[in-house]
A and B are shown apart, each in its own frame.
Chain A
Amino acid sequence: MMLQRALAGAPPRALVLLALVLSALVAAPWASNDYLLTVLITILYFAYVGQAWNVMMGFAGQLSLGHAIYVGLGGYAAAAIYVYLGLAPWIGMIAAIAIAALCGAVIGFLAFRFRVAGVYFAILTIAFAEFARIGFDHLQWLGGSAGFFLPVANYARNDVWNLRGSPTMFYYLMLVLTVAAFVLCHLLLKSRIGYYWQAIREDEEAARSLGIDTFRCKMIAVAISAGMTAVAGVFFAFYYNNLFPEQVFHISRSIELILGPIIGGIGTLFGPILGAFLLTGLSETMQNLLAASGLDLPGAKQVIYGVCLLAVVVMLPDGVWPWLATRIGVSRKQP
């Protein structure tokens, strides 16, 4: 019923393509080696967090440049609960979501209550991520700057409940997560709150004149986006088994996770996913090509990567997905 409603109105060709892509992703681990699987996990991770960030920016028009804070809070919360209380990450995830959503709500409250908007809002989000980075550097019971580690051992079989297992397990979990986030975002966008977010993104004053409590709607957007991002943090922590404040909270992490949706198409449902494939794919391909060519050009990868980003932003300012959707004939028909 819900699925039926979610798919209603989509052109048949889009459904066929979607089914093909999904089947390919499900079958991927059989056809890939360890390296490729790692790349695919990275792609799904960015697709997921990009989708989560998109709820705030793409739907509600609130630019967050500090989303790493929610990844970090989620990771640290679940890891600490696992290490100190011995509780499984799925239970820790509830705390992780709650803490991140609360943190988002605090940032949102300060900004929306005191009319901190636009770039100033973005700066506020950076500031909070930096507070967290410096703060966690000094939290000794969470390892401080020396890092927080999860116990690692060789696991004979995959333990999904404790998130201990092979990359293949993490791959499928990330895949489920990415699909779930896609479905959730689709339903949100077609709901009342989704319409209200888009109205606020387009013109907040006009939105208010239509009876929309913009403060409440923006708070919900931040809380949902933060909570979703924290889930990715939990998987991040249990996949890498270590957390360093300098890494997880660093601003480059926040920037990295918003590039996917920007390249793919802000505010679209497929944009974050497509963007993650393009960017991670590009980055890895370039790495391999440069290595294979035998040329010793430090920084060449970054330069080429930057030029590619620039080219996309200049030529397709709305992102790749809206352009691609029209090209392959899957954009919704306008009545």
Chain B
Amino acid sequence: MSALLDVRGIGKRFRGLLAVDNVSFAVARGSIFAVIGPNGAGKTTLFNIIAGAIAPDRGSIFFDGAPIDGLPPDQVCRRGIGRTFQLVRPFPALSVEDNVIVGAMLHHHELAAARAHAHQLLRQLDLFDRRGQIASTLTLPDRKRLEVARALATRPKLLLLDEVMAGLRPVETDRMVLILRNLSRETGLTILLIEHVMQAVMALAARVLVLHHGAVIAEGPPAAVVREPTVVHSYLGAEAV
């Protein structure tokens, strides 16, 4: 079976800094794939390139068999890629429900249908009881889940999650892991996540890619990757062994 997302030789330079250096990987349909690496490794840049927020200098990206590199973010979303932001950015003055309705409007022209779809997602993300609340009044964990719900409302085939666990307490992390695992299992959703929380990566990802200074230094199943000496040395630290 062909991969849902196929990244080939992507490179991006910001003036003197080579942020992403010849990165290639493939994400299989229905799988959960994680990208890890120290701060400044180029994870978010890579992520923004896939989402269309930044155009790559070189390389190509195929999604569902068609090239998407260089497309603007709205068209990338229409092809079936939903995303969250590292620093959460729900629409602050809108209610929780309206935030998700905005996403659901991509496929529903009628407000009633979009609202019904939004309600279903809010239940899945444990936010249904807060649906009338203004988004800016939510706590960080709630805002993170709201962003996931909003992105899911566009009915993506691939969900890009940028450090969705960062800043969460362990209990909240477990809750998010459970939600994501259920989503993947029940709907066949493919997930690509950038993550620092290794506990979540180990629990969720079938494959892990490790970036360092913009380049891939390891790729494989999480249990194998964390034992590779280069990874231990550059990212996890010697004490992790």
Contact = CB atoms under 8 A, between A and B. Distances in A.
Given A199-B102, A209-B83, A334-B133, A192 B150 contact: no
A210 B133 contact: no
Interface string B43-61: 0000000010100000000
Nearest to A332: B132
B98 interface: yes
A202 B95 contact: no
Contact of A209 (B51, B92, B101): B51
A210 B154 contact: yes
Contact of B77 (A196, A199, A210): A210
Interface stretch (B103-111, B168-176, B193-201, B217-225): B103-111
A207 B77 contact: no
Interface string B79-104: 00011010001111111001001110
A202 B153 CA distance: 18
B237 interface: no
Interface residues of B, number: 34
A211 B53 contact: no
Given A190-B111, A211-B77, A335-B131, A205 B89 contact: yes
B133 A195 contact: no
Contacts of B109: 192
Contact of B91 (A191, A202, A213): A202
A195 B98 contact: yes
A210 B102 contact: yes
A198 interface: yes
Contacts of B92: 202-203
A208 interface: yes
Contacts of A209: 51, 53, 73-74, 77, 82-83, 85, 151
Interface residues of A, number: 21
A211 B91 contact: no
A213 B102 contact: no
Contacts of A199: 91, 94, 102
B72 A206 contact: no
A190 B111 CA distance: 7
Contacts of A202: 91-94
Contact of B95 (A203, A207, A213, A334): A334
B89 A195 contact: no
A203 to B, nearest CB: 5
B13 interface: no
A208 B98 contact: no
Given A202-B93, A206-B85, A208-B73, A335 B132 contact: yes
A206 B74 contact: no
A134 interface: no
Contacts of B74: 208-214
B227 interface: no
Nearest to A192: B105
Contacts of B72: 208
A156 B131 CA distance: 59
A317 to B, nearest CB: 13
Contacts of A195: 98, 101-102, 105, 111, 114
Contacts of A207: 91, 102
B41 to A, nearest CB: 22
Nearest to B85: A206
A195 B110 CA distance: 12
Contact of A206 (B75, B91, B131, B133): B91
A203 B73 contact: no
A213 to B, nearest CB: 5
Contacts of A203: 89-92
Interface of B: 51, 53, 72-75, 77-78, 82-83, 85, 89-95, 98, 101-103, 105-106, 109, 111, 114, 131-133, 150-151, 153-154
6 contacts: A192-B111, A202-B93, A202-B94, A210-B154, A211-B78, A212-B106
Top 6 nearest A-B pairs by Cβ distance? A202-B91, A211-B77, A334-B132, A335-B132, A208-B73, A211-B106
Given A205-B73, A214-B74, A335-B132, 19 more contacts: A191-B111, A195-B105, A198-B98, A199-B91, A199-B94, A205-B53, A205-B85, A206-B85, A206-B90, A207-B91, A209-B53, A209-B74, A210-B82, A210-B103, A210-B154, A211-B78, A212-B74, A212-B106, A334-B95
